[in-house]
Structure 1
Amino acid sequence: MQYYNSNTIIYLNGAFVKATEAKTDLYGQSLHYGLAAFEGIRAYKTHNATRIFKIKEHFERLKKSCELVGIPYPWDNKDLIKKTYRLLEKNNLKDAYIRPIVYSEPQMTLVAPEKVNIMICAWEWGAYLGDKQLKVCISPFQRPNPKSTFVEAKISGHYVNSILATTDAKKRGFDEALLLDMNENVAEGSGANIFIEKGGKLYTPSLGNILAGITRATVIELCKMLDVEVIEKQINVEELKNADSAFFCGTAAEVIGIHTIDDTVYRQRWSDSIGYVIQRAYKNLVLEKVNYEVII
């Protein structure tokens, strides 16, 4: 995957510069200790124009992540939103994945930095997990205990956990990993939240041990529009494997169905599931096709 070339422009500390000419420091906490905050955002080519989906919510979460771990955030989000749209224009991108990241100035102690940088880049990227139902395994790695960190913050260092889980899953022949929490209840995928369907209702792990996904919140909003009941609760492995169907959701993954969990096959056809309805409704939403009722 090539993320940039000699013509690619990024936004760095108030200026648009070529990616090949941009520089960073090798003595910062972000590189050495993983203390950086980031977001994953998608832009879609709609019939109206190129739209960045829920960009305000993403930058608000970026600011909140920084505040939680003591990273300064001196920027105005309205300005960053304008700069992000300008970045897409400069790179002639219509459908794109956007990555803003806040990272430290040179600072090698274990105290939060006083000065920081911001970089925003973008590239063309398809659905992160593809468009076919997934073979998923329950990972031997757990999500971090919420008493050990701020699980609601999207912090770079947290994703070592995700890399370990995904790498293990791929080595064992699966498409993706599903992680449990410290109490052996279902948490989330390595980079996506999970919903399961049972008896015409959707269930998803309650907040507390998972990232509060913006796509997760969007799915819940869609369910209200479509009169689908969503229950947020602790879900154990037995409930997971006895479900009728399941799906992951996230900005990178969008909405993608799960075919198997370990050796358990979800026998409900994906096309008959609530997840399939949500998948289509979500696509209509991001493309600004607002007549949800037509897809039911």
Structure 2
Amino acid sequence: MSGGYDDRDGKIWMDGQLVEWRDANVHILTHGLHYASSVFEGERCYGGKIFKGRQHSERLVRSAGLIDFEIPYSLDEIDAAKDAVLKANGLTDAYVRAIAWRGAGPDMGVASARNPVRLAVAAWEWGNYYGDAKTRGAKLDLSKWKRPSPETIPAEAKAAGLYMICTMSKHAAEAKGCSDAMMLDYRGYVAEATGANIFFVKDGEVHTPLADCFLNGLTRQTVLQMLRERDIPVHERHIMPEELEGFQQCWLTGTAAEVTPVGSIGDYTFEVGAMARDISDAYEKLVRS
């Protein structure tokens, strides 16, 4: 594919049917556009099979419930829509985006209970999220924005509005020549990158932030299981930013990022070490098994 994401050949599944890519449009007064009443999933298909596709569908439905709407399709129907999109576009290795939102309807204020809930699924070929960082290590900035308290947002939802500060953080990072940014949480603890969870290694043991105010990613959960199967000690805990000086390795996890080693965060540097490479390689084999 080439060109903008609105100007491509192919099919997108939208509200129960496949439509031409360029015709998959919404009205300007769509509620989700104005008030961020939208949830989504990012999934990867390897060799014709979406990795943890059912879990992604379950999280999509759960996220919608957390921001107070119900998707009018069953899990089986959502899974079938994803399969239909891949088949219609002739894709076996692809990124899949399912998105549900409150559409245009009789309500156009903050409240939108009477507006229809819509669902769409698109898929496209997408390479490494961080380019060649899998071999040399990603370069991260330190974001000025913090992940907010779960008392102020539905932190367990993969909701569009929660990514606003992530977009601003990544733009600021890219302006400095970085691939991404690491964010702290509202208490000052290390949280995550803008669209990926983060892991550190010290003396053969793994440390990762406790997912108590940000999304506990499916890739994060997969990697935690892989580490435990290897009898590698794992500490899920609150991590202070000054602790980064003592960590030897670091990597990011996410559906788009997969497992990507980190070479630096601000002034802190890390080696692309044996454990980071091993987990990255093992994850690549797992998703294609």
Could you tell me the TM-score, scaled by structure 1's length? 0.91
Q: Calculate percent identity across the aligned residue pairs.
A: 33
Task: Name the structure 1 match of 2:14.
Answer: 12
Q: Is the 8 A contact 1:130 1:253 kept in 2?
A: no
Cα distance change of structure 1 residues 108 and 253 upon mapping to structure 2, 3 Å threshold:
same
2:6 and 2:111 map into 1 onto residues whose CA distance is 33
Task: Name the structure 2 match of 1:108.
Answer: 108
2:210 and 2:6 map into 1 onto residues whose CA distance is 38
Code of the aligned partner of 2:196: A
Task: Name the structure 1 match of 2:237.
Answer: 233
Distance apart, 1:187 and its partner CA: 0.4
Distance apart, 1:229 and its partner CA: 1.8
Q: Is the 8 A contact 2:128 2:257 kept in 1?
A: yes
The partner residue of 2:61 within 55, 63, 73 is 63
1:145 and 1:135 map into 2 onto residues whose CA distance is 27
Which aligned pairs between 1:209-288 and structure 2 lie closer than 5 A?
209-266=213-270, 268=271, 270-272=272-274, 274-288=275-289
1:238 and 1:247 map into 2 onto residues whose CA distance is 17
The partner residue of 2:42 within 35, 40, 60 is 40
Q: Is the 8 A contact 1:105 1:113 kept in 2?
A: no
Distance apart, 1:140 and its partner CA: 0.9
Distance apart, 1:10 and its partner CA: 0.4
Q: Secondary structure of 1:177's partner?
A: strand
Q: Is the 8 A contact 1:179 1:187 kept in 2?
A: yes
Which aligned pairs between 1:68-87 and structure 2 lie closer than 5 A?
68-87=66-85
Q: Secondary structure of 2:76's partner?
A: helix
The answer to whether structure 1 residue 146 and structure 2 residue 155 are counterparts is no
2:102 and 2:118 map into 1 onto residues whose CA distance is 6
1:111 and 1:149 map into 2 onto residues whose CA distance is 17
1:158 and 1:257 map into 2 onto residues whose CA distance is 25
Distance apart, 1:235 and its partner CA: 0.5
Distance apart, 1:83 and its partner CA: 2.0
Distance apart, 1:5 and its partner CA: 4.9
Q: CA RMSD in A?
A: 1.4
Cα distance change of structure 1 residues 236 and 92 upon mapping to structure 2, 3 Å threshold:
same
Task: Name the structure 1 match of 2:27.
Answer: 25
Distance apart, 1:205 and its partner CA: 0.7
Cα deviation code 1:62-85 (max 9, x no counterpart): 001000110122211112112211
Deviates most, 107-116 or 182-191:
107-116
Distance apart, 1:90 and its partner CA: 0.7
Code of the aligned partner of 2:148: P
Q: Secondary structure of 2:188's partner?
A: coil
Task: Name the structure 2 match of 1:204.
Answer: 208
Task: Name the structure 1 match of 2:179.
Answer: 175
Code of the aligned partner of 2:44: R
Code of the aligned partner of 1:123: W
2:7 and 2:177 map into 1 onto residues whose CA distance is 32
Q: Is the 8 A contact 1:241 1:261 kept in 2?
A: no
2:266 and 2:59 map into 1 onto residues whose CA distance is 33
The answer to whether structure 1 residue 119 and structure 2 residue 120 are counterparts is yes
Q: Is the 8 A contact 1:163 1:190 kept in 2?
A: yes
The partner residue of 2:199 within 195, 218, 235 is 195
1:137 and 1:238 map into 2 onto residues whose CA distance is 15
Code of the aligned partner of 1:261: I
Structure 1 spans left out of the alignment, 5+ residues: 289-296
Code of the aligned partner of 1:211: L
Q: Secondary structure of 1:75's partner?
A: coil
Code of the aligned partner of 1:88: L
Q: Is the 8 A contact 2:244 2:268 kept in 1?
A: no
Structure 2 spans left out of the alignment, 5+ residues: none
Task: Name the structure 2 match of 1:128.
Answer: 129
Task: Name the structure 2 match of 1:291.
Answer: none
Cα deviation code 1:32-72 (max 9, x no counterpart): 11110000000012xxxx11000011010000100011012
Q: Is the 8 A contact 2:142 2:182 kept in 1?
A: yes
Q: Secondary structure of 1:258's partner?
A: strand
